[in-house]
Amino acid sequence: MSKEDHVLDRPGMAQPPLAERLDGYVDMPPLSGNGNGSGGPSGKRPKPKRGRRRLAFFLMAAGVLLTAYAAVVVLWRDPVTDLYYRWQQNRLDDALASTFAEFQESEPDLTSQRAGAAKAVDEATARSQLFTSAKRFDRRLKLGQPLGRIIVPRLGLNKVFVHGTRWAEDLSRGPGHYKETGIPAVGKTVAIAGHRTTFGAPFRYINKLRPGDRITLQLPYGTFTYRVFKDKIVDNSDWSIIRPLGFDALVLSACHPLYSAAQRWVVFARLTTVKTMNGRFLTFWQPRSAAA
C-alpha cells in the first residue's frame, strides 16, 4: 500500500472528494435491508395487498353463486325472472277481476241469466247467445290485456293468460294468447304460448300432458273445458299448428328442447263442454272413453 493510500485511510482525517480519490468512480447508496435485493431485512417478499385478497375472494364467491344460479335454472327455473312473473300475476289477478265485472255488467243477457230472469232456451239458442257474447268480447280485446285464466291439473297450473305473445310485454307476465287465433266459442282454433325456463316457466312440463288430460279456460262469458288428443314437435317457423281444424280446438305451444327456440312442443286439445254464466252446460264433443 502506498503512503498516500495509508494517509487517506486514517480515521479522523478529512477525505478528499470521491471523484478525486477513485478517479471517476461513482459511489451508490447501499441497498436497503441486507443488500440482497429481496426488499426486506429477512429476504422475504412483501405480503400481497388487502385489495388483491378481497378481489380474489369476490371472484371466487361470484363463481360459486353463478354456478348455483345455473343449477337452479336447469333443475327448476330462472329465480330472478320468476319473482317478476309472480309480481305481474298478482297484478293481473286484480285486472282480470275487473275485466269480468265490466264485461258482465255490460251484457244484459248475461246479467239476466245470472239473476235467473231469462226464460229457459233451447241449446241452439244458448249456443247462439254464447257466440254473440264471445264476438262482443273479442272486439274489446287489446294487446297485453288479461284475457282469462288457464287451469291444467296435470301441470299444477292455474294462471292468468294475456292477449298477445310479445316477449317483454306479454309472455313475461304469463301465458300469451296468439292474437292471430280466435277465442273460445267462435269455432276457431285458440292458441296459447308459454315459457319453459324463464318468467315462471308455466309450460315447463308441457311434454307431460297426455291424451284425455283436461285443460280449462275461464273467460268472462263462459268456462271452457278441453281434452288433450295429441301432441307433436314442429319447427319454430311452422305456423300450420294454428290453422282451423273444423272444430273448437285449443293449442298450447312452448319452445323445445329446453333452453332452445329451434323447435316447439305443441299440444292439441278439443272443446268438450262449456259452462255459461247462468250455470248451464253445453256439450260440444264427447270423448269415446266418456261415451263408453
- The pLDDT of residue 51: 76
- Asked if residue 180 is part of any domain, the answer here is yes
- Asked if residue 44 is part of any domain, the answer here is no
Using pLDDT thresholds of 50, 70 and 90, give the confidence band for residue 291: very low
- Asked if residue 62 is part of any domain, the answer here is no
**What CATH number does residue 126 fall under?**
2.40.260.10
Tens of pLDDT, residues 54-102: 777 667 777 766 665 555 555 456 778 989 999 999 999 999 999 999 9
- The pLDDT of residue 53: 74
Q: Which of 129, 74, 79 is closest to 107 using CA atoms? A: 129
- Asked if residue 152 is part of any domain, the answer here is yes
Q: Which residues contact 210 (CB under 8 A, 6 or more apart)?
A: 154, 228
**Which residue did the predictor score with more confidence, 27 or 182?**
182
- The pLDDT of residue 121: 76
Query: Does the structure show a pLDDT above 50 at 117?
Result: no
- Asked if residue 42 is part of any domain, the answer here is no
Tens of pLDDT, residues 239-267: 999 999 999 999 999 999 998 889 999 99
**Which residue did the predictor score with more confidence, 184 or 44?**
184
Whether the predicted model's global pTM rises above the 0.85 cut: no
C-alpha cell of residue 15:
477525505
- The pLDDT of residue 116: 53
- The pLDDT of residue 52: 77
- The pLDDT of residue 75: 43
- Asked if residue 28 is part of any domain, the answer here is no
- Asked if residue 61 is part of any domain, the answer here is no
- The pLDDT of residue 259: 87
Using pLDDT thresholds of 50, 70 and 90, give the confidence band for residue 281: very high
- The pLDDT of residue 282: 95
C-alpha cell of residue 291:
261415451
Cα 190 to Cα 10, 19, 46, 170, 177, distances in angstroms: 111, 101, 72, 17, 8
DSSP per position, 110-129: HHHHHHT-SPP--HHHHHHH
- The pLDDT of residue 22: 46
Report the percent of the chain where pLDDT is more than 90.
55
Query: Does the structure show a pLDDT above 90 at 224?
Result: yes
- Asked if residue 210 is part of any domain, the answer here is yes
Tens of pLDDT, residues 136-161: 999 999 999 999 999 999 999 999 99
Q: Which of 239, 197, 215, 254 is closest to 78 using CA atoms? A: 197
- The pLDDT of residue 64: 60
Q: Which of 193, 252, 221 is closest to 135 using CA atoms? A: 221
Mean pLDDT of 269-280: 92
Query: Does the structure show a pLDDT above 60 at 4?
Result: no
- The pLDDT of residue 8: 44
Using pLDDT thresholds of 50, 70 and 90, give the confidence band for residue 11: low
What is the domain extent for residue 253? Answer: 80-291
- Count of structural domains within the chain: 1
Q: In angstroms, what is the C-alpha Rg of the chain?
A: 39
